[in-house]
Structure formats: structure tokens, C-alpha cells
Amino acid sequence: MRVVSLVPSLTEAVAATAPGLLVGATDWCSHPADLDVARIGGTKNPDTAAVLGLRPDLVIANEEENRPVDLERLRAAGAEVLVTEVRGLPQAFTELHRVLVTGCGLTRPRWLDEAEQAWADLPPAGGASAVVPVWRLPWMVLGRDTFAGDVLARLGVTNAYADHAERYPRVPLEELRDRGADLVVLPDEPYRFTATDGPEAFPGLPAALVSGRHLTWYGPSLATAPRVLGAALAAALR
């Protein structure tokens, strides 16, 4: 089988399970580090002609990361396109099974069971609230109905904008500062927040610099995400 992935999370998931299936991936597919496949552009601007030129049996995509116009163009040319939708942790596990087992015809991988168990074993968590920027200039934060927001909630951190009408609202910095949150959570993707780029905008508020891959990717990283993210959050709240 020949698979092209338009989603970094799913690229890693397939590569960790049956790397020989992958023939193409986006420029943003950074895991595994030694991935050696054809690159077909970005998630938002894939070279659809290049995708079709790889003669894929299956193209895997995501309704949030990829544009409908590109997916329709691939379908119109005869490509089989499997589109995932992930708005929470349980859905991530269901969709990973659908991609790997139903879509790719693989045996359910052990890492997927281990990832589910890692989240099932979590102890009861506290109730801190956080502002979670994902971009600056302009400032954008996690809003309602997001996978990352659900991940944080299961680790005891409530998204301060979880009730916002938009999923990724643009919010003025002063409003973010006045929200009354207990901390600010700053991932290193899609915007790369660092110790010197992000925390200074929230004086007096504890800042948790976290791995964007562990916060926003649904794949093998889910097995270690509770430990990695939990440690970063706990350190910020000490």
C-alpha cells in the first residue's frame, strides 16, 4: 500500500507502525527525524499534482489542518482521501484506530494501547485555569472545542477561553492579562514560544513552556504526553 500523509501527527503514527507504507508527507512532518519520503509542500498548501504523482492508495488528512479545496481536488482526480476529525482525546484514539486499522489495513499497534492506558491511569487533577496562546502578532488563544484544551483539562488545567464562541479567537493582550488565569501555557508550536519570547508579555503570571508536539499532536507522543506536560505544568505552578 502507498500512503501520503498531509498531517504531521498522522505521519508519525503511520511511520511508527508501518514506515514502509509512507511515500509522501508534508514539509512540516518532522517525526520521525529520519523520515525519508517525498515532500509535497505544507499542510495548507500541498502540491496536489505531486501527491497524485506518487500514485497513493490512500491520502490521510485532517479537517482542521487541511483545506477542503485541496482535498476535493485530490478526490476529483481519483485519490482516496481519509479525513480525520479530532476535537478531544477519546476521538483522537478512535481516529488513530480508523486510520491505521481501517484505512491502512494494519494490526492495531501496541503503542496505541499504551497511549490509551497512559491517559486512563491519571490521578484526580486540580483545577488551575490557564490562558493558552498559540500565536502572537496578533495574539490568538485556544478557545472552545479543541484537542489541546481537552488534553490540558485532563491534566487539571482549565482553558480560560473554553467557553469562547470561536475555537481560536484573537484576543487583545490586555484582555488576556486581565482574564484572571492562574498561569499562561506557551507551546513551542505553531508559534515557537521560548523563555525569552512569550513569558515577558504576562508579568507576574507563572508561565509553563510546553512541548507543542505533546500538547497538539495525536500519535505516538500521546504515550508520554501526560508525563511530559504534567511535569511542565507542575513546575510552573510551584
Cβ–Cβ under 8 Å, residues 227 and 198: no
Per-residue pLDDT at 125 exceeds 80: no
Which domains can be identified in the chain, with CATH numbers? 3-108 (3.40.50.1980), 128-237 (3.40.50.1980)
Write out pLDDT tens, residues 52-90: 999 999 999 999 999 999 999 999 999 999 999 999 999
Question: Band of the pLDDT at 94, cuts 50, 70, 90?
Answer: very high
Rounded to the nearest integer, the mean pLDDT of the chain is 96
Nearest to 156 by CA among 86, 226, 238: 226
| Model pTM score | 0.93
pLDDT at 124: 65
Cβ–Cβ under 8 Å, residues 110 and 141: no
Write out pLDDT tens, residues 198-223: 999 999 999 999 999 999 999 999 99
pLDDT at 238: 86
CB burial class (10 A; 0-12, 13-18, 19+) of residue 187?
A: buried
- Please provide the distance, in angstroms rounded to a whole number, between the alpha carbons at the two ends of the chain: 50
118: how many CB neighbours lie within 10 A of its CB?
15
Biggest distance spanned by C-alpha atoms of the chain: 55
Q: What is the mean pLDDT of residues 146-173?
A: 96
pLDDT at 121: 79
Write out pLDDT tens, residues 7-41: 999 999 999 999 999 999 999 999 999 999 999 99
pLDDT at 3: 98
